[in-house]
Amino acid sequence: MADRMIFQIPSRVICGEGCVDQIGQEARQLGASKVLVVTDKNIAAAGLLDEILDSLRKSGLNLDVFDRGEPDPSVDLVNEGTAIVREQKADLLIAVGGGSNIDAAKGISIAATNSRPIVDYEGPEKFENQPLPILAVPTTAGTGSEITFFAVITDTQRNYKFLIWSPRIAPRAAFLDPRMVGTAPRRVKVAAGMDALTHAIESFISKAANVYTETCALKAIELIAANFRKMLEDPDDRDAAMSMLIAANIAGFSFANAKLGIVHAMALPLSAIYHIPHGEANSVLLPFGLDFNKTAAAHKYQRMGEALGLSRCEPADVVRAVRQLATDVGAPQAMAPLGVEASSFDKMVSDAMKSGHVAVNPRTIHPEDMMAIYQAAL
Q: What is the CA radius of gyration of the chain?
A: 20
> Do residues 119 and 18 lie in contact, with contact meaning Cβ atoms separated by under 8 Å?
no
Task: Find, among 254, 266, 268, the residue nearest to 377 by Cα.
Answer: 266
Question: Is residue 72 involved in binding Fe ion (CB under 5 A)?
Answer: no
Task: Find, among 51, 55, 67, 56, the residue nearest to 100 by Cα.
Answer: 67
Instruction: Tell me the site size for Fe ion, rule CB under 5 A.
Output: 1
For Fe ion, which is the closer residue by CB, 55 or 361? Answer: 361
What residues pair up with 37 in beta bridges, in sequence order?
Answer: 65, 94
- Cα angle value 185/146/328 (rounded, 5°): 40
For Fe ion, which is the closer residue by CB, 75 or 281? Answer: 281
Return the half-sphere exposure (C-beta side, CA atoms, 13 A cut-off) of residue 304: 26
Q: What is the closest distance, in whole angstroms, from the C-beta atom of residue 17 to Fe ion in the complex? A: 26
| Binding residues among 180-239 for Fe ion as defined by CB under 5 A | 195
Residues whose CB is less than 8 angstroms from the CB of residue 337 and which lie 6 or more positions away in sequence, other chains included: none
For Fe ion, which is the closer residue by CB, 40 or 195? Answer: 195
For Fe ion, which is the closer residue by CB, 161 or 300? Answer: 161
| Binding residues among 258-277 for Fe ion as defined by CB under 5 A | none
For Fe ion, which is the closer residue by CB, 146 or 195? Answer: 195
Instruction: Please write down the HEC assignment for all residues of 124-191.
Output: ECCCCCCCCCEEEEECCCCCCCCCCCEEEEEECCCCEEEEEECHHHCCCEEEECHHHCCCCCHHHHHH
For Fe ion, which is the closer residue by CB, 86 or 354? Answer: 354
Q: What is the closest distance, in whole angstroms, from the C-beta atom of residue 338 to Fe ion in the complex? A: 16
Q: What is the closest distance, in whole angstroms, from the C-beta atom of residue 150 to Fe ion in the complex? A: 9
Write the interaction track for Fe ion spanning residues 139-178; mark x where CB under 5 A is met and - where it is not: ----------------------------------------
Q: What is the closest distance, in whole angstroms, from the C-beta atom of residue 239 to Fe ion in the complex? A: 25
For Fe ion, which is the closer residue by CB, 24 or 138? Answer: 138
Task: Find, among 210, 213, 208, 45, the residue nearest to 144 by Cα.
Answer: 213
Q: What is the closest distance, in whole angstroms, from the C-beta atom of residue 143 to Fe ion in the complex? A: 6
Burial class (CB in 10 A: 0-12, 13-18, 19+), 339: exposed
For Fe ion, which is the closer residue by CB, 26 or 195? Answer: 195
Q: What is the closest distance, in whole angstroms, from the C-beta atom of residue 23 to Fe ion in the complex? A: 25
Q: What is the closest distance, in whole angstroms, from the C-beta atom of residue 65 to Fe ion in the complex? A: 27
Q: What is the closest distance, in whole angstroms, from the C-beta atom of residue 347 to Fe ion in the complex? A: 21
Distance of CA 19 to the CA centre of its chain: 21
Positive or negative torsion for Cα 13, 39, 43, 267: negative
Q: What is the contact surface with Fe ion in residues (CB under 5 A)?
A: 195
